[in-house]
Structure 1
Amino acid sequence: MRTIWNKLMRMLAPSIQKLLLEIPISQISTIEEIRMRKGQPLMLYAVDRSYFVTEDGWLTNVGGKCKVVQEADILTTFDLLTGASVYAKQDQIKQGFLTIEGGHRVGIAGTTVLKQGEITHIKEISGLNIRVARQVMGVADKVMVHIKQEERILNTLILSPPGYGKTTLLRDIARQLGDGSRGIKVGIVDERSEIAACVNGIPSFQVGVQTDVLDRCPKCEGLKMMVRTLSPNVVITDEIGGADDLQALREVLSSGVSVITTAHAGSLAELKRRPMMQAILKEHIFDCFIVLHKDRNGYQILMDGVE
């Protein structure tokens, strides 16, 4: 974890980097988000609490002599995150995020610029939220028995609110399937470059020796391409729910390929209230639902949508 943290620090403004490099490894391992808001204290968010960062690099729950994020800190960090080439990253920026080396995702706050009703870019950047990506080997151990039944891989949907570890779980499912000895070919459509976090086409995370990745490929097009050209047994992608997702899922399933994916929802009941998801659920595409919780049980398994 220290190596991952140190590499991430190189992408932050020196004044921020200096403070965060002082944090003990025991605390680093719990950090999920680094929050920079212009004119506000630098903050870190862990699994179950938040911290201010003092000017000496200490973490505290009390606002006092804390590091206040300056405009220069945000501009310098943004320059480092984009590799000084905002234009090259514009497709991501206009969606409000950046995915950087290591699979870390950076949310962007600022003023949106619209042209004919569509966002073209974000200016006057006022805040950055860096979500720290990490690989947790074995995190999928307990759910694999539900996903794999004899020779069949069940069509599976993983549910949780943001920040509960859906992508981390999805990554380990891909690794375990792709490293299996039964010749299971895995295809990952990694639209936001978070699951495999490819750099120069090579995954930064272990996602299985029998796994192929379409990196930064639009989800719907990628699902169709994967099935047509790479003959996977199972395709894995993140965050379904768009208007075109249903047709892409139909095409995958009609080819006899299994699907494992995720959606934002705290429960199956919440998911059913979303118009886009109602159409997908109505066709009974998924056999297994995994609902993630932040408690000692960790998750809930629903087969065919039944507790």
Structure 2
Amino acid sequence: KEGGNLTTLVEFILLGFADVPGLQKFLFGMFLIIYMIILIGNSLFIIITKVDPSLQTPIYFSLGNFSSLEICYVSVTVPRLLADLCRQNRNISFLACATQMYFFLVLGATKCFILTAMAYDRYVAICNSLLYPLIMNTRLCIQSAAGCWISGIPVHIGFTYLIFSLPFCGHNQLDHFFCDIPPALKLACGNTFMIEMLIYVVAVLVVTIPFMLISWSYVQIISTILKLPSATGRAKAFSTCSSHLMVVALFFGSGIITYMRPKSSHSVGVDKRLSLFYTIVTPMFNPMVYCLRNKDIMVAMRKFLSK
């Protein structure tokens, strides 16, 4: 639509990996395999934690919840990416782009909150082990899970609306494989200063504060573990927490670098690689990290598969 000298955009073109035309089939095959690993790995994890009575504990409830989230989280971006790798027409309407961005942000926030809840579970288990059954009761587990899923919804409805209320003009090529904030803002014309400040505020609330709470929990956990008298006890406690710490470091590290960097230091190539890391690579490793480093899960999996 023409408005003065500006052409108001009604759709974007997701460029994705169009800059490497010779690798389209290879990338499609690789991402499809990773997506299937994520779906199968997390689904198997959910089933095992539901059917095995020995895994009916708060931490496995949280892990099952986390696996459900991972399936939803990757399904927001990967199916669209796979479709775009197979076709020439990569147009995406404003509504579809806004919807994808909204669900990506909400599920990303939920992931931050669930990882924080899991850190609290580990903190209580190790630092207040005698009170653990009393504190981490079924009611608290369900309430915290519901809170994690719901709390990001109102913030990101308003946030996504504000971004798509900006005037977009000029070319409509979104140099990314999904509708994310940094590439969308590059196409916005006019003053985006307020939105950029809002991004930092939301990032502090959703990413930085949960990360600080997790870090504080692990400072307490590690200091408690180091006071344990037996080396076996220390090793067991460390192995219980190390898998969660690995997942936290991978996800929060890449997320903080992406959203907390100044706009001037954003480069398309770096943003795409970082996005691949926290949207596809870490969800693929999560079931492996939790399963391979957990004897209870391995025992339950052998029993389940032998049936």
> Could you state the TM-score of these two structures normalised by the residue count of structure 1?
0.28
Structure 1 or 2: larger strand share? Answer: 1
Q: Larger C-alpha radius of gyration, 1 or 2?
A: 2
> Could you state the TM-score of these two structures normalised by the residue count of structure 2?
0.28
